[in-house]
């Protein structure tokens, strides 16, 4: 029961975070254009701002924003009143839909970097200890330091791969 409540609370917090981000970006575009709703061009700029924030704050490799065609497709799905523009409520739904793949990509990369890499590091430490000139140094490192070093190396490699 407690796990279900924690999961619901986590989902609520994530929805609130998305709401805060979408409101901030919607207001930024709205203030720049002076219009109450977003046309396609404004919407695409908003998507670029969202993906810029994602790439700036998450410790994973660069995530490309969707193409203009994909934005146009989802815009049609989210334009509930069929006026050709996106209002604040439609924008929230739009951003949730367009970033749904991103959450999966980020989750997989975070899992790889911060869960699997330390485990593999500890499993391969014994092998590394047998390498001449390196083995003594590896043997002298505590497991936590060795796993952290390998994890940082994997994270750095992921960041550099797309730079």
- pLDDT tens by residue, 111-146: 777 778 888 888 888 888 888 888 888 888 888 888
Cα separation, 121 vs 68, whole angstroms: 41
pLDDT of res. 7: 53
Alpha helix segments (H runs only) across the chain = 2-33, 40-57, 68-78, 88-98, 100-111, 117-129, 135-140, 143-161
- Radius of gyration, alpha carbons of the chain: 22
Mean pLDDT of 60-84: 90
Cα separation, 36 vs 26, whole angstroms: 9
Whether residue 107 is predicted with pLDDT greater than 60 in this model: the reply is yes
Higher-confidence residue: 76 or 162? 76
pLDDT of res. 37: 94
Whether residue 160 is predicted with pLDDT greater than 70 in this model: the reply is no
Cα separation, 150 vs 144, whole angstroms: 10
Torsion of CA 93, 95, 98, 101, to 10 degrees: -100
- Angle CA(34)–CA(35)–CA(39) in degrees, nearest 5? 125
């Amino acid at each position: 029961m407690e796990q279900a409540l924690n999961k619901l609370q986590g989902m609520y917090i994530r929805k609130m975070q998305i709401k805060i981000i979408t409101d901030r970006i919607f207001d930024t575009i709205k203030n720049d254009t002076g219009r109450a709703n977003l046309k396609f061009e404004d919407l695409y700029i908003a998507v670029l701002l969202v993906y810029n924030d994602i790439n700036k704050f998450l410790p994973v490799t660069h995530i490309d924003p969707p193409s203009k065609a994909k934005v146009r497709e989802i815009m049609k799905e989210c334009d509930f009143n069929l006026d050709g523009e996106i209002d604040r409520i439609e924008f929230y739904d739009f951003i949730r839909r367009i970033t749904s793949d991103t959450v999966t990509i980020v989750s997989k990369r975070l899992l790889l970097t911060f869960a699997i890499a330390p485990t593999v590091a500890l499993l391969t430490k014994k092998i590394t200890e047998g390498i001449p000139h390196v083995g003594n140094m590896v043997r002298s490192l505590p497991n936590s330091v060795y796993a952290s070093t390998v994890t940082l190396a994997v994270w750095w490699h992921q960041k550099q791969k797309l730079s």
